[in-house]
Structure 1
């Protein structure tokens, strides 16, 4: 499909309060070779220009009127309704082929709305948010779309200035450039998601990926350091995978421990809700991650500890905490609306738990394995192996389950490349 020479960029903002910024951004989009399509999400006032999609169109998409939205209670409820309308209208424009990308601008209110809109767009459709709270812990991981781009709106609280225009011009150029060059995911082979960490911790992907590709699947590996798991959950929620090999779950443990290295409360839930079959294993679930540049959390100071680099460090959780993690995993899997197989490597669940390594903790591993055996209940399949998660036996077990599910029609058959 030939790309449009002038990609149509949906530009979202409150035109009653940010008209100068939005007009400036429209001009930047044109100068970069794009065509701005303005959507106004104002509630109280009107912009000094005519948007392509005005606030009344946004309200109608929420099955309301501006008067109803204004009378809804307060600014939070009003903007929540506008967010619903903007999300529905944006997705309809995308499905109709009327936009090629999206950029939104805002403070906390505008960002709140923009995050919903971005999540409604498929992966591969460029989505950019210019925000006064970009990269802030105010934004929960579960609100972030898998391929969202953000930039901090420095100097952008009120009115234009040279710092603000420097940021806005970069953002507009970035979204136009992305729309011109983006290659959307192909659909020629069934997609299989896999979660893992680096090879120094979890190495199964080295064997599993080529084996699954040989069977005719596209394998997409997600790095489970918070946002990687979030990206996988985001795509899973939209039904984007034929199957998921969720073999690294320390983001679940992180969230339970209150770590900032989290993928959100719904980690390990979206595939089940979407009816996607899952093969699951507890890779690295014994670790709690924290920023290496901060002091070790008080409840972990006496635990075995590993500094991965200057950004990320990990400590092992206590046996009682591992039992809680096991029960949480089992509870999430029990809600799945598709087959689930849980593979339990009783010999260890990450490279650094071997004897002689920094995170060796046989008491903790035993507590986790015992609790996991008790917590998993049918219809979830439990497959226990004596070996380590990085052993050949683990890979063989995963492939055995996967092949059986393909034969049974649970996972769609792959499309191996034709022999040359």
Structure 2
């Protein structure tokens, strides 16, 4: 088999030498190439790695001696995390690695999360960890396309149980590196946020209409990780235009729901990307369906979407708080920004006579938006529901004007 892809194998080679070398052997046995990176501090591997612990620390502007002299294992590993992330990114940009797999307990996993976040979307990134899928891992530290497998039975030494996990991780990252279809970039890309068609319909109309105009459209599911992926691409300037119509994650972050991070609704503005914004589902906070409601949400109307996800309806004061957050974030935008406010409601459950409709709450949100929206934002109120044809018509009219003016590059 042709040795066509190179995988960066990362871990603490002083304590997990056998396990890491086993993964290297698995990758090479399937015809792949390997580069090894040591992120240990105190000990040394049995054989030199391609990138030593000294090279890793120096990549981050530090040294192994500084890590040792700190006398603090947390500080020491953050030195290695910084250097490891920068080195992995440089190797990828230089075309030397096609994917990464990191092995670790809590120490190695802490470093792994930084390395995976440093690499762009579409670069295969796998973590074999004793704490995979654990509540120890905060969502905001997970790369949008990170893959994890539980390193079962492998805390110390090789055995048949842990080999099952390690061989899967090795095969998975090599297979992904061979199979991945990276974003082509041959058409200008539009980033859109939404939820499923039962609650929001606009993408059904807008996606084909925009594709007919020669654009590619990527629709992101705004339930935390989807919003993180959307924001990470926006921060890279990957979008020709942003249609951020499902901004519920702004309220989620404020109210303790499924957060996409504190930077939600800011990265398109920071990169001066033209953006059309609407507040779909602003009135709801998504929570983990199988957990009890937080005390502050007790007694509020809820909708159980499935066993994983439930939505809680915000009251008028909370909606005003969410409106202020929208306005504050958009006030930082450096590029053309339009905010469309469908005054008839912002999700299918909020239509008149629907289960979660709250006319007073909607009026409170609209009032706060109109009072707080900054001057750099073109505010467009519409007397319709977000799922009505008028909304899509206005979006396309704004978009077409921007294309005609050269604001959006076609």
- Shorter-chain TM-score above 0.5: yes
Could you say which residue in structure 2 is the equivalent of 1:132? 130
Q: Deviations over 1:196-252 (max 9, x none)?
A: 000110100001101111111100000111111111112222222111111001111
SS in 1 for 2:279: strand
Residue 404 (1) aligns with residue 401 (2): yes
Alpha carbons of 1:334 and 1:73: their partners in 2 closer, same or farther (altered >3 Å)?
Answer: farther
**Cα pair 1:70 1:78 within 8 Å, conserved:** yes
Q: Deviations over 1:319-359 (max 9, x none)?
A: 11111000011111111222211111111000001122211
Residue 359 (1) aligns with residue 318 (2): no
Q: CA RMSD in A?
A: 1.6
- 1:94 aligned to 89, 92, 95, which one? 92
Moved more, 131-140 or 382-391: 131-140
Q: How does 1:44-59 map to 2 (within 5 A)?
A: 44-59=42-57
Residue 330 (1) aligns with residue 345 (2): no
For 2:136 and 2:267, locate their aligned partners in 1 and report how far apart those are by CA, in whole Å: 22
User: Which segments of 5 or more consecutive residues in structure 2 lack a partner in the other structure?
Assistant: none
Residue 262 (1) aligns with residue 246 (2): no
For 1:271 and 1:73, locate their aligned partners in 2 and report how far apart those are by CA, in whole Å: 41
Could you say which residue in structure 2 is the equivalent of 1:30? 28
Q: How does 1:153-302 map to 2 (within 5 A)?
A: 153-259=151-257, 261-302=258-299
**Cα pair 2:330 2:374 within 8 Å, conserved:** no
**Cα pair 1:249 1:283 within 8 Å, conserved:** yes
Could you say which residue in structure 1 is the equivalent of 2:146? 148
For 2:85 and 2:92, locate their aligned partners in 1 and report how far apart those are by CA, in whole Å: 11
**Cα pair 1:251 1:263 within 8 Å, conserved:** yes
C-alpha deviation, 1:159, in angstroms? 2.3
SS in 2 for 1:58: helix
For 1:75 and 1:361, locate their aligned partners in 2 and report how far apart those are by CA, in whole Å: 52
Q: How does 1:365-404 map to 2 (within 5 A)?
A: 365-404=362-401
Could you say which residue in structure 2 is the equivalent of 1:418? none
SS in 1 for 2:115: helix
**Cα pair 1:142 1:266 within 8 Å, conserved:** no
**Cα pair 2:5 2:177 within 8 Å, conserved:** yes
Could you say which residue in structure 1 is the equivalent of 2:78? 80
Moved more, 373-382 or 261-270: 261-270
Could you say which residue in structure 1 is the equivalent of 2:14? 16
SS in 1 for 2:24: helix
- 2:67 aligned to 66, 69, 72, which one? 69
Q: Deviations over 1:137-162 (max 9, x none)?
A: 33222222222111122223222232
TM-score (norm 1): 0.94
**Cα pair 2:2 2:31 within 8 Å, conserved:** no
SS in 1 for 2:335: coil
For 2:348 and 2:2, locate their aligned partners in 1 and report how far apart those are by CA, in whole Å: 49
Moved more, 70-79 or 307-316: 70-79
C-alpha deviation, 1:268, in angstroms? 1.3
Alpha carbons of 1:4 and 1:393: their partners in 2 closer, same or farther (altered >3 Å)?
Answer: farther
**Cα pair 1:229 1:267 within 8 Å, conserved:** yes
SS in 2 for 1:198: coil
**Cα pair 1:315 1:359 within 8 Å, conserved:** no
For 2:201 and 2:294, locate their aligned partners in 1 and report how far apart those are by CA, in whole Å: 28
For 1:332 and 1:72, locate their aligned partners in 2 and report how far apart those are by CA, in whole Å: 39
Could you say which residue in structure 2 is the equivalent of 1:416? none
For 1:137 and 1:338, locate their aligned partners in 2 and report how far apart those are by CA, in whole Å: 38
| Aligned length in residues | 410
For 2:45 and 2:231, locate their aligned partners in 1 and report how far apart those are by CA, in whole Å: 37
Moved more, 392-401 or 288-297: 288-297
